[in-house]
Chain A
Amino acid sequence: MSVAEKKPAGAAKDRVLSRRGITVTGGFAVAAVLLVLVPSFTDSFYTFVATRMLLLGLFATAYNTVFGFGGMSSLGHAAFFGIGGYTVGIAVTRWDWPPLVVLAAAVVLGAAVAAVFGVMCLRVRGIYLLLLTLALAQAIAGLAFYQTEWTGGDNGIPNIPRDGLPSSVREGDGYYMLTLVVVAVCVALLWMYQRSPLGMSVVGVRESEARMSATGYRTGRLRVVAFTVSGAFSAVAGVLEVYLQGSVSTANMSWLISADVLVFAILGGARHFLGPFLGAVLVTGLEVWVSTYTDRWTTVLGIVYIATALFLADGVLGRAGWAVRTTKSWWEKKSSPGGAAPPGAAADPAGVPAEVRA
Chain B
Amino acid sequence: MLTWLTHSVNGLAYGSLLFLVASGLTITFGLMRTVNLAHGAFYLLGGYLAYDLTTNGTDYWLALLAGVLAAATGGMVVERAFLHRLAGSELPQIVLTLGVAYIIGDQILANYGGDPVAPPTPPGLEGPVTIGDWVFPKFRLVMIGVAIALAAVVGALLKYTPTGAKVRAAVDDEEIARAVGIRVPLVFLLVFGCGTGLAAFAGVWGGAFTSLAPDSGFEVLLLALIVVVVGGLGSIGGALLAAFLVGLVDQYGKVWFPEWALFTLYASVAALLAVRPRGLFGKAVFR
Query: Do chains A and B make direct contact within the complex (CB under 8 angstroms)?
Result: yes
- B-contact 0/1 string along A273-309, CB 8 Å cutoff: 0000000000000000000000110110111111011
Check if A302 sits within 8 Å of B99, measured CB to CB.
yes
- Contact (Cβ within 8 A) A142 B262: yes
A255:B218 contact, CB within 8 angstroms:
yes
Contacts of A141 in B (CB 8 A): 262
Instruction: Report yes or no: A139 in contact with B270, Cβ–Cβ below 8 A.
Output: yes
Kindly identify which residue among B35, B105, B285 contacts A298, using a CB–CB cutoff of 8 Å: B105
Q: How far is the CA of A214 from the CA of B218 in the complex (A)?
A: 43
Flag whether B184 is at the interface (Cβ < 8 A). Answer: no
- What total count of A-B pairs have CB within 8 Å? 133
Of A131, A132, A262, A295, most buried by chain B (CB within 10 Å of CB) is: A131
- Point out the residue from B94, B98, B222, B274 that lies within 8 Å of A138, measured CB to CB: B222
Q: Tell me if B76 counts as interface (CB < 8 A to partner A).
A: no
Query: Which of B58-66, B166-174, B202-210, B253-261 contacts its partner?
Result: B253-261
Q: Is the CB of B92 within 8 A of A135?
A: no
A155 to chain B, nearest CB (A): 16
Quick one: given A128-B285, A135-B273, are A296 and B91 in contact (CB under 8 Å)? no
Known contacts A127-B90, A146-B258, A309-B95; is-contact A298 B102 (Cβ 8 Å)? yes
- B106, A127: Cβ atoms under 8 Å? no
> Which one, A131, A145, A296, A309, contacts B99 given CB within 8 A?
A309
Given A135-B266, A138-B266, A296-B110, decide whether A125 and B287 contact each other with a Cβ distance below 8 A: yes
CA distance A302 to B263 in the complex (A): 29
Nearest CB of B to A250, in Å: 10
Instruction: Verify A305–B218 contact, CB threshold 8 A.
Output: no
Q: Which residue of B lies closest to A305 (CB)?
A: B99
Smallest CB separation, A346 vs chain B (Å): 24
Docked-complex contact A124 and B274, CB < 8 angstroms: yes
Give the one of A123, A138, A145, A313 with max B CB within 10 A: A138
- In the complex, are the beta carbons of A146 and B270 less than 8 A apart? no
Flag if A128 contacts B229 (CB, 8 Å). yes
Shortest B150–chain A CB gap in Å is 23
User: What are 7 residue pairs bridging A and B, where the CB atoms are less than 8 Å apart in the complex?
Assistant: A73-B90, A123-B275, A132-B274, A135-B269, A138-B266, A146-B260, A263-B98
The 9 closest A-B pairs by CB, nearest first: A142-B262, A305-B99, A302-B102, A139-B266, A309-B96, A302-B103, A298-B106, A306-B99, A142-B263
Using a CB–CB distance below 8 Å, which chain A residues touch chain B?
73, 120-128, 130-132, 134-136, 138-143, 145-148, 255-256, 259, 262-263, 266, 295-296, 298-299, 301-306, 308-310, 313
- Spell out B's residues near A (CB within 8 Å): 35, 82, 85-86, 89-96, 98-103, 105-107, 109-110, 218, 222, 225-226, 229, 258-267, 269-271, 273-275, 277, 285, 287
With A132-B277, A303-B99, A305-B99 given, name 13 new contacts (CB 8 A). Answer: A127-B35, A127-B90, A131-B273, A136-B270, A138-B262, A139-B267, A140-B263, A146-B259, A259-B98, A306-B99, A309-B92, A309-B99, A313-B89
